């Protein structure tokens, strides 16, 4: 029986459809129409922001750090006063001399203090919605306590982001009646997502159409966190339905789903770096661990398997340059698939290194991860090699036999690294049962969307951009299978087994890294974030939102270098 699935997922009583290749296609109105409307809103309301970004690409500032940034960087944020929460004892711990690389947030104001003119302008739309001290205490009923874990993995999600926008467009505490209504809608959305998944598994086309129709009516990418995340999961389910039954269901997705570029993720990552502690938790914690590995080394070589814009490395440059005996040579090998992006990243990093008087060499490797070979990396015997794998190792799990991952780990071992840095989502999104992946990912991304609700107003164009970046991951792990599914996240315990099978041992994360991580959270007024250790001191550090783990960082070395698992570098 041929049935219609519209982009709103709600067929009218009399289907006004256009026949196309024997299928019924309805494209008027609905969720994706609202996505297009929000896209138009984004384009309209971000025109000033875009002009700011354009100005940023032409802006140069006077001091060494700013000059190093070049024409299109928003890497450094310079504080104009000491952060009230940073005590002298903690400052002595860190090798970032004055923590000038962090964006600082005043606890009584939502102003982002940035060194670049673009940041001062960008913050008008990327303005963090951090609560004041009084707001934080008054809203603790809603956000500071962790929901209890239940057997049904979907049940925790409904309460995530149970706030609704206030009249000013920022997240705020709502009345009891409105809060109850929002929570009920959240429960209904989770129930509908569960029912839709069950209907897809059983092939019940009528139930699929009903569930998607109702989800299209209730969810919205401009609502509360649960409404927003449900909207993107609805898209993912609809795309899965079309992949399974293309002869029955037909939808016309908006261009934003089809014409995606790496520039979208690059912009979103920069914005996330400004408003959330997640990128800095990954980068600064890993750098602090890396500095211990480079202690006393004269020539250092970092192999970054997914360098992107190189956001991680300017702070490391500053720390290395501030040492009494800085290394005489620093080399970074950046791996990626875009030659232009790699060249631009190399040019920016060279400017930073020059500003810090740090001898620097950059080498770009333009290739897919699985096609990289040892000879491409130009490893030299006299160098201390470190391998950096941030949110990249899971991409090698597409080969279910494990061959691709073992090849990658073998390549890493052949570089004779002193340290291997690993950062991954702390989530189980690689279950062969897609329904389990859906449930687990719904919990994970609901927590991320909830955390963004604390940082950005509900109608922020920057928030939309960031959430669309995470939505691409959602679509991949829900709608795709086989080699198309690249987002195959695993938890730390699984990575520990895989790394040990590949000939690596954990070298542990020390107290310095723990203090660094906590300092980052305090800079963002992150009372709902926390840091947990993995394992018995030889594991990693996990960033959590309430009780939901988000990301884990860890350090490794080949067994013949690391020795037994009880051998650690000094803290």
Predicted TM-score (pTM) of the model is 0.73
124-133, 230-239, 392-401, 461-470, range with the lowest pLDDT: 124-133
CA gyration radius, the chain: 24
Quick check: 402 pLDDT over 80?
A: yes
Q: How confident is the model at residue 254, as a pLDDT?
A: 59
Structure-block tokens of residue 359: 């001898």
Each residue's pLDDT tens digit, 337-367: 999 999 999 999 999 999 999 999 999 999 9
Each residue's pLDDT tens digit, 469-492: 999 999 999 999 998 999 999 999
CA distance 17 to 85: 61
Q: How confident is the model at residue 262, as a pLDDT?
A: 61
Q: How confident is the model at residue 505, as a pLDDT?
A: 94
Q: What is the band of 552 on the pLDDT scale with cuts at 50, 70, 90? A: very high
Q: How confident is the model at residue 73, as a pLDDT?
A: 37
Q: What is the band of 182 on the pLDDT scale with cuts at 50, 70, 90? A: confident
What share of the chain has pLDDT > 70, as a percent? 64
Q: How confident is the model at residue 507, as a pLDDT?
A: 93
Q: What is the band of 256 on the pLDDT scale with cuts at 50, 70, 90? A: low
CA distance 232 to 415: 41
- 491 close to 426: Cβ distance less than 8 angstroms: yes
Q: What is the band of 226 on the pLDDT scale with cuts at 50, 70, 90? A: very high
Each residue's pLDDT tens digit, 287-325: 999 999 999 999 999 999 999 999 999 999 999 999 999
Q: How confident is the model at residue 13, as a pLDDT?
A: 30
Q: What is the band of 253 on the pLDDT scale with cuts at 50, 70, 90? A: low
List, in order, residues 6 or more apart from 511 with CB less than 8 Å away: 571
Quick check: 502 pLDDT over 50?
A: yes
CA distance 424 to 420: 13
Q: What is the mean pLDDT of residues 145-158?
A: 40
CA distance 15 to 26: 8
Q: How confident is the model at residue 524, as a pLDDT?
A: 85
Q: What is the band of 86 on the pLDDT scale with cuts at 50, 70, 90? A: very low
Q: What is the band of 264 on the pLDDT scale with cuts at 50, 70, 90? A: confident
List, in order, residues 6 or more apart from 465 with CB less than 8 Å away: 42, 264, 267, 268, 271
Q: How confident is the model at residue 350, as a pLDDT?
A: 97
Structure-block tokens of residue 37: 């409307």
What share of the chain has pLDDT > 90, as a percent? 58
CA distance 388 to 504: 14
Q: What is the band of 539 on the pLDDT scale with cuts at 50, 70, 90? A: confident
Query: When comparing pLDDT for 437 and 28, which is higher?
Result: 437
């Amino acid at each position: 029986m041929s049935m219609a699935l519209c982009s709103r997922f709600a067929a009218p009583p009399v289907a006004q459809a256009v026949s196309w290749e024997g299928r019924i296609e309805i494209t008027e109105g609905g969720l994706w129409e609202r996505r297009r409307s929000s896209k138009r809103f984004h384009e309209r309301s971000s025109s000033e922001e875009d002009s700011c970004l354009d100005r940023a690409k032409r802006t140069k500032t006077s001091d060494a750090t700013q000059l190093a940034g070049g024409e299109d960087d928003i890497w450094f944020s310079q504080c104009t006063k000491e952060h009230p929460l940073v005590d002298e004892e903690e400052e002595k711990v860190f090798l970032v001399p004055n923590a000038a690389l962090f964006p600082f947030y005043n606890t009584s104001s939502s102003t982002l203090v940035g060194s670049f003119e673009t940041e001062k302008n960008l913050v008008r739309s990327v303005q963090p919605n951090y609560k004041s001290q009084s707001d934080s205490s008054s809203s603790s009923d809603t956000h500071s306590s962790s929901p209890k874990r239940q057997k049904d993995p979907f049940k925790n999600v409904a309460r995530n982001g149970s706030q609704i926008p206030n009249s000013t467009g920022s997240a705020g505490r709502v009345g009891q009646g409105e809060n109850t209504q929002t929570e009920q809608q959240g429960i209904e959305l989770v129930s509908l997502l569960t029912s839709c998944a069950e209907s897809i598994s059983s092939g019940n086309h009528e139930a699929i159409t009903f569930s998607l129709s109702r989800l299209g009516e209730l969810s919205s990418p401009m609502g509360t966190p649960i409404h927003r995340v449900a909207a993107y999961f609805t898209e993912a389910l609809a795309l899965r339905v079309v992949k399974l039954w293309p002869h029955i269901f037909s939808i016309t997705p908006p261009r934003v789903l089809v014409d995606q570029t790496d520039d979208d993720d690059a912009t979103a990552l920069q914005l996330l770096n400004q408003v959330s502690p997640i990128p800095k938790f990954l980068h600064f914690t890993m750098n602090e661990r890396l500095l211990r590995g480079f202690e006393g080394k004269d020539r250092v070589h970092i192999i970054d398997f997914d360098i992107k814009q190189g956001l991680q490395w300017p702070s490391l440059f500053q720390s290395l340059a501030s040492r009494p005996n800085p290394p005489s040579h620093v080399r970074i090998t950046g791996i990626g698939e875009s030659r232009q992006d790699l060249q631009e990243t190399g040019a920016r990093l060279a400017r930073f290194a020059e500003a810090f008087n740090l001898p620097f060499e950059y080498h770009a490797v333009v290739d897919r991860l699985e096609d990289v070979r040892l000879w491409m990396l130009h490893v030299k015997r006299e160098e201390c090699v470190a391998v950096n794998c941030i949110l990249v190792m899971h991409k090698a799990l597409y080969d279910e036999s494990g061959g691709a991952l073992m090849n990658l780990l073998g390549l890493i071992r052949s570089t004779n690294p002193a340290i291997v840095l690993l950062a991954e989502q702390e989530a189980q999104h690689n279950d062969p049962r897609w329904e389990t992946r859906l449930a687990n990912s719904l919990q994970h991304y609901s927590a991320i969307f909830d955390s963004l609700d604390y940082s950005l107003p509900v109608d922020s164009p920057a928030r939309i951009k960031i959430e669309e970046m995470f939505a691409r991951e959602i679509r991949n792990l829900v709608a795709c299978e086989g080699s198309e599914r690249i987002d195959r996240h695993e938890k730390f315990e699984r990575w520990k087994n895989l790394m040990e099978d590949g000939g690596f041992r954990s070298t542990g994360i020390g107290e310095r890294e723990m203090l660094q991580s906590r300092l980052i959270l305090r800079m963002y007024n992150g009372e709902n974030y926390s840091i947990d250790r993995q394992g018995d001191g030889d594991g990693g550090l996990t960033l959590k939102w309430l009780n939901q783990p988000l990301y884990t960082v860890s350090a490794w070395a080949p067994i013949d270098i690391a020795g037994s698992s009880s051998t650690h570098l000094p803290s």
